[in-house]
Structure formats: structure tokens, C-alpha cells
């Protein structure tokens, strides 16, 4: 079984609005996961004040987590399943991209610009994670790239309004 972790605890300061609500937000990503027959979807909401903002299984980040790297460490350690990470700014992700990643072993997908996207990592063997890494890139450094030119735009991320020009809606 694969558990999906949706990261929705960020402050979205560069975007200027809460990315977890944009373009259908976490609800749209959750629906795409359901279409892909994923039975366990966990939204990591950040702080307690965001707990009621999301439906389904929602986890609050532990107080001692000091950023997304710590949250990824903690969340993966709570699970005994295969894991797929999805950021809340996965505005292009669809059932197709989710299914394709779930069918892979450990990997980090490549977006349409040739960038590795560690917040979309597929984790089937956590023993290959570099638990001592100080960055997300380092955490999954041993994971092979997953490149599929037909769906690579599904793995784009959006950090600021200028990135929205790369939005590809199905």
C-alpha cells in the first residue's frame, strides 16, 4: 500500500496567498489521489490553527520540526507503507502522474524544466534515504531520477506568481 503525504503547512509568502487553496487546492489533489485508488491520504497542515482547513486524515507538524526537511523525516518515520510526497502547489498533478509515480520504486521525478523535484519523491525503500542530509535534495540523493517527458509538467512546482505561466490544466 502507498500512503500519500500532501504538504500544506507552508506560509506561501512568495506566492502572496495560501497555495493550499489555489486552483482547487488540497481538495483537488486529494480527489486526484482517490481517482488513482489511493486509500490513505494524509494532509500535513503545519500548525494546529490549520487543522480544520482540510478534510480527511490531517496531521499537525510536531512543534520540534523546524522546516519541511524535519517534517518529511518525522512523517516518513510514522509510516510503515510506501510513501509518495506531494506538495500543495502541485497544481498540474493528476491521477495519471500519481499512478505513474506509484508504479515506480524509489525515485525523484524530473519536471518539464529538467529539475529534480524531491517534494514529489516516491519512497518504496526508506533504507536508501540519507537520513543525515541537511536538505531535501540530499535526503533523496541516492534515488534515481524518474523522467517521463509526456507527463513531466505534472511535477512542476509553483513558488511565486511568475511561476503560474507554467500552469497546465487538464
Where residue 25 falls among pLDDT bands split at 50, 70, 90?
confident
User: How many Cα atoms are found within 13 Å in the side-chain-facing hemisphere of 39?
Assistant: 4
**What is the mean predicted confidence (pLDDT) over 45-74?**
91
Q: How confident is the model at residue 15 (pLDDT cuts 50, 70, 90)?
A: very low
How much is the mean pLDDT over the chain? 88
Average pLDDT over residues 100-105: 97
Nearest CA among 98, 140, 99 for reference residue 123? 140
Hey, what domains does the chain have and what are their CATH numbers?
2-165 (3.90.550.10)
CA distances from 150 to 111, 144, 147 (A): 11, 18, 9
- Is it the case that residue 83 has pLDDT exceeding 90? yes
Mean pLDDT is highest, among 93-97, 156-160, 165-169, for 93-97
pLDDT > 70? residue 168 = no
Would you say the C-alpha torsion 85, 102, 81, 132 has a positive or negative sign? negative
Query: Can you tell me the distance from the alpha carbon of 33 to that of 10, in angstroms, rounded to the nearest whole number?
Result: 21
pTM of the prediction? 0.89
Tens digit of pLDDT for each residue in 129-157? 999 999 999 999 999 999 999 999 899 88
Amino acid at each position: 500500500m502507498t500512503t500519500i503525504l500532501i504538504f500544506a503547512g507552508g506560509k506561501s509568502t512568495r506566492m502572496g496567498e495560501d497555495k493550499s487553496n489555489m486552483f482547487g487546492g488540497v481538495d483537488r489533489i486529494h480527489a486526484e489521489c482517490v481517482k488513482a485508488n489511493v486509500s490513505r491520504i494524509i494532509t500535513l497542515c503545519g500548525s494546529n490553527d490549520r487543522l480544520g482547513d482540510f478534510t480527511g486524515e490531517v496531521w499537525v507538524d510536531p512543534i520540534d520540526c523546524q522546516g519541511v526537511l524535519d517534517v518529511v523525516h518525522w512523517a516518513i518515520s510514522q509510516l510503515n507503507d510506501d510513501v509518495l510526497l506531494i506538495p500543495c502547489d502541485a497544481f498540474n498533478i493528476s491521477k495519471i502522474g500519481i499512478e505513474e509515480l506509484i508504479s515506480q520504486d524509489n525515485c525523484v521525478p524530473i519536471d518539464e524544466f529538467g529539475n529534480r523535484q524531491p517534494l514529489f519523491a516516491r519512497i518504496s525503500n526508506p533504507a536508501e534515504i540519507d537520513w543525515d542530509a541537511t536538505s531535501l535534495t540530499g535526503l533523496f540523493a541516492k534515488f534515481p531520477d524518474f523522467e517521463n517527458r509526456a507527463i513531466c509538467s505534472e511535477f512542476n512546482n509553483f513558488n511565486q506568481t511568475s511561476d503560474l505561466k507554467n500552469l497546465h490544466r487538464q
